[in-house]
Structure 1
Amino acid sequence: MAKAQQALPEELIVEILSWVPVKPLMRFKCVSKTWNSLIFHPTFVKLHLQRSSTNTHVLLTPEEEEDPPDDDEKVTDGLQRAATPCSVLRLLEENPSPAPHDDHYQFNDVYSFVGSCNGLICLRFFTVSGRGNFEYWVRFWNPATRITSQESPHLRLRRRDYMLLEDYVKFGFGYDDVSDTYKVVALVFNTKSQNWEVKVHCMGDTCWINILTCPAFPISRRLLDGHLVSGTVNWLAFRMLGIDYEWNNVTVHQLVIFSYDLKKETFKYLSMPDGVSQVPDYPPKIGVLKGCLSLSYTHRRRTHFVVWLMRQFGVEKSWTRLLNVSYLNFQLSPTNELDWLPTTPLCISENDDMMLLANCVYDEFVLHNRRDNRIDSIGSFDGKVPMCSYDYVPSLVLPYCN
């Protein structure tokens, strides 16, 4: 091996290895110290990520908060069981296989998935300190390399200054390609100023920074974490309403998407698709499909499930309706007893012909074929992965600064 390695120019070795998937590269780093240094060199990591980005994957994670183990080795093992990176092609052609769930670990912190970017997963933790104050922190995890970062600095929020209910503490995660920085956004509601504050932690920094203040408006209570699209983090929000809104009082013109730009450190509002003429009975979900912002909801008459896709981010005329399917096809009928959306889109094929969804009433994966409007059940997730999905690509990106 050493002779073969020496016989090849370094440029050719880099070129060949940059096309190799992460899993074998983790074995190849044992070939020599030179290869080990190469594989984790920042320039090679970026080249490999650039060439891997066409290999589209989806990360399936629990929608509810999880309890991690109490040491680093068990944290990594527990995370591997809690999240399932899958190729879109395999998800659409085979029965999905959710990761098994283990109950025998001893837990000490509550965590949830904030988001996925360039192969890194951001996990949020919190604890309640003295006098009911909250402390939040994050860890970064690369499931392909099984490397997890240490805790970030803690974001300490005092109860006398901030509304600490889940409805008023939101998080997001993404990458700023101008500063070459991974950023965690915390959106918190200040009870004294009656404004939202945007606080940001850059991976590797020693603190959280106050970036800007936004006017008071409600953000959907169902969406704790924002969705990353084109360098922005996005939440469903409602303009021109009091902060303590009631869903029954929301009008369709008040439905917007609050979008925070990680590079410009500014925010704006995006409008709903023109085809949304009525407010749904349950708040819509926003998500990401094929790197595009998606919007899904149950029709006002509770007869159909609808999915829209913003083909070009920020261009409101680019909203396209992908799905408008009767709930009879799912063999279920949403009733007044449900106050949540019973169906979640997970991923879509390259040509938009097939969409994988989670039927959260029957805890099953269903596949919708747009060509003949057919829906087929293709496997159960037994209530163990009730369902969020993130665009994901296996990468060598380190969950800390070099």
Structure 2
Amino acid sequence: MERLPRDLNMNILSRLSVKCLLRLRCVSKPFCSLIDSQKFVKTHLNRSIETDFNLSVILSYTPAPMISCSRYGQGKIFSASLDSLNIAVELDHPFKNCTGETPIIDTCNGLIALKNGENDIALWNPSTKKHVLLPKFWSDFDDYADLVDGFGYDAVSDDYKVVRLIQFGRGKVEYTEIAVYSLKSNSSRRIRVDFPYYFSHPRDGTFARGHVHWLVLNEPEGYNGDLIVAFDLKSEEFFEVPLPHLENRDSGNLMYMGNFSGCLYFSCFCDYPEPVDIWIMKESWTKVFSFAGGVFGIFTYAKALAYSKSGDKVLVDKFLYDEDEDEGINKWELDWYDLQNQRAAGQVTVHGVPQGCRYTMIYVDSLVSLAAYPERDV
């Protein structure tokens, strides 16, 4: 293959898994040079995203919406290939040997932003096993402050950015600060912003199409979200995104926002037996499918993760909850959902992951290198 034109080699190699490519780096210097080139890294990443290749499910122990996870294995993160979901492996992440929870902020282009409590943030590529710890780029805060984080990619400047929003105040919000860290320049800025919103069950943001999104409230006493606020990573400005029209909003008890096939998606989990509707934001909100009430039994929480390769099924993560934990009803399950027949199509058993409090997201294996940015010690 070394005698083939470089572009042809690139086309062939871009169809391989990251694991294979890391082995091929040892074949020769030309191979290593090609695989490490930024052009090839982006070509391989774009092909994986366009073809839904090299996708994995990340499973981590972080608090569920309804219960504390103090009795579960905090700090553990697992990965299972979407093509072979029955087997998962534990990952050696940057905070594995630290105490406390290690929530994942978000994932983008094969990088994962995660934190150890609220004091340390790292960017990590599980495929290459490389990471960087970020310097503290936010102001000090106390127990009276609320904060949410976000992470994403600015394609215009080819830069990865981490965002932290902090609302300061005692009893009421006095002011809001936004701190933005740029991986490319290894620099940050902090400013007070006009942010007339309140966090809805403070959750970290969702990245989609160049923006980080948070579900927010107009009034501090609210429970469900009133709208979505998006932060443009290019202009570093906020704008509002209205929620989709929800016919059964009054019966909704939990709203969820995530990334589905590269797009922002929204769902409202309602009292049984109301259906769970899944909305995708492209030019506007479009309801793409619904989980009929009771199709998975009585569940409290469910979210769509990814389409099957054939596109006729959706992988769904659901959470069954009961106040009496001794009954063993508090558990997560992965199921396939048949879109055409609108019914459950089989539960997925992932070996190697203990039952417990779990957060899931789809991750693309990539060669994106943190060392490609200046002043990086990886």
Fold agreement, TM-score > 0.5: yes
Matched, 1:359 2:350: no
Cα distance, 1:281 vs. partner?
Answer: 4.2
Correspondence for 1:61: 59
What SS class does the counterpart of residue 292 from structure 2 fall into?
strand
1:220, 1:283 within 8 Å by CA — same for their partners in 2?
no
How many residue pairs align between the two structures? 343
Question: Aligned residue for 1:337?
Answer: none
State which of 28, 50, 58 in structure 1 corresponds to 2:46.
50
User: Root-mean-square deviation (CA), in Å?
Assistant: 3.0
Residue number in structure 1 paired with 2:111: 120
**Alignment deviations for residues 265-305 of structure 1 (CA, whole Å, 9 cap, x no partner):** 11111112223452344231111211122222222x43224
Over 3 Å counting, the alpha-carbon distance change for 1:196 and 1:26 in structure 2 is same
Judged with a 3 Å threshold, the aligned counterparts in structure 2 of structure 1 residues 294 and 276 are, in CA distance, closer, same or farther, namely farther
Where does the alignment leave 5 or more consecutive residues of structure 1 unmatched?
66-77, 128-135, 335-340
For residue 373 of structure 1, the aligned residue among 322, 342, 345 is 342
Deviations 1:79-132 (A, max 9, x none): 9x6131523xx3xxx654344599xx75346422111111111112346xxxxx
The question of whether the paired residues in 1 share the 8 Å contact of 2:244 and 2:279 is answered with no
1:107 to 80, 98, 117: 98
- 1:50 alignment partner, SS class: helix
Give 1:263 shift: 0.9
Partner in structure 2 of residue 288 of structure 1: 259
2:139 matches 1:157: yes
Identity of aligned residues (%): 24
Return the offset for 1:64: 0.4
Distance in 2 (CA, whole Å) between partners of 1:97 and 1:297 is: 30
Q: Can you give the 5+ residue segments of structure 2 that lack an aligned partner in the other structure?
A: 64-73, 321-330
Counterparts of residues 167-316 of structure 1 (less than 5 Å) = 168-191=146-169, 194-210=174-190, 213-221=193-201, 223-239=202-218, 241-242=219-220, 245-247=221-223, 255-299=226-270, 301-312=271-282, 315-316=283-284
Read off the aligned partner of 1:174 and give its amino acid letter.
G
3-state secondary structure, aligned to 1:208: strand
Which SS does the other structure have where 2:199 is aligned?
coil
Question: Is the 1:304–1:324 contact (alpha carbons within 8 Å) kept by the matching residues of 2?
Answer: no
Q: 282, 303, 322: which one pairs with 1:344?
A: 303
Compared CA separation, residues 238 and 371, structure 1 to 2 (3 A): same
Contact 1:297 1:305 survives alignment (8 Å): no
User: Within 2, Cα distance between the matches of 1:9 and 1:211?
Assistant: 50
**AA matched with 2:355:** G
TM-score (norm 2): 0.80
Q: How many angstroms apart in 2 are the aligned matches of 1:20 and 1:324? A: 35
User: Retained in 2: the 8 A contact 1:199–1:210?
Assistant: yes
Residue pair 2:103, 2:115 contacting (<8 A) in 1 also: yes
C-alpha contact (below 8 Å) 1:38/1:44 kept by paired residues: yes
Q: Which residue of 1 aligns with 2:69?
A: none
Is the partner of 1:363 in helix, strand or coil? strand
Aligned with 1:397: secondary structure? coil
